[in-house]
Amino acid sequence: MIEISKLNKYYKVGKGKMHALKDIDLTVNDGESLAIQGKSGAGKSTLMHIIGLLDNYDSGSLKIDGQEVKGLSDGKLAKLRNEKIGFVMQDFSLLDHKTVIMNVMLPLFFNHKYSFSKMRKLALEALDRVGIKDQAEKKANQLSGGQRQRVAIARAIISSPQIILADEPTGALDSETSVEIMELLKELNANSGITLIVITHDDSVADYCERKIIIKDGSIIS
Ligand SMILES: Nc1ncnc2c1ncn2[C@@H]1O[C@H](COP(=O)(O)OP(=O)(O)O)[C@@H](O)[C@H]1O
Ligand SMILES: [Mg+2]
Q: Is the CB of 17 under 6 A from ligand 1?
A: no
Q: Rounded CA gap, 182 and 180, in Å? A: 6
Q: Is the CB of 41 under 6 A from ligand 1?
A: yes
- Domain span at residue 162? 33-57+84-220
Assess if residue 72 is contained within a domain. Answer: no
Assess if residue 9 is contained within a domain. Answer: no
- The count of domains in the chain is 1
Assess if residue 186 is contained within a domain. Answer: yes
Q: Specify the pLDDT at position 111.
A: 77
Q: Rounded CA gap, 169 and 166, in Å? A: 6
Instruction: Residue 94: give its domain's CATH number.
Output: 3.40.50.300
Determine how many CB atoms are found less than 10 A away from the CB of residue 49: 17
Ligand number with the minimum distance to the CA of 36: 1
Locate the ligand 1 atom nearest the alpha carbon of residue 48 and give its number. Answer: 17
Locate the ligand 1 atom nearest the alpha carbon of residue 13 and give its number. Answer: 4
Per-residue pLDDT of the chain (222 residues; tens, 9 = 90+): 999 999 999 999 999 999 999 999 999 999 999 999 999 999 999 999 999 999 999 999 999 999 999 999 999 999 999 999 999 999 999 999 999 999 999 999 987 889 999 999 999 999 999 999 999 999 999 999 999 999 999 999 999 999 999 999 999 999 999 999 999 999 999 999 999 999 998 999 999 999 999 999 999 999
Assess if residue 211 is contained within a domain. Answer: yes
What are the start-end ranges of the H helices in the chain? 44-51, 74-84, 100-109, 116-129, 145-157, 175-192, 203-206
Q: Is the CB of 40 under 6 A from ligand 1?
A: yes
Assess if residue 175 is contained within a domain. Answer: yes
Name every residue whose Cβ is closer than 8 Å to that of residue 50 and which is 6 or more positions away in sequence.
7, 9, 21, 56, 57, 62
Can you give the length of the chain in residues? 222
Q: Is the CB of 38 under 6 A from ligand 1?
A: yes
Q: Is the CB of 218 under 6 A from ligand 1?
A: no
Q: Rounded CA gap, 133 and 127, in Å? A: 5
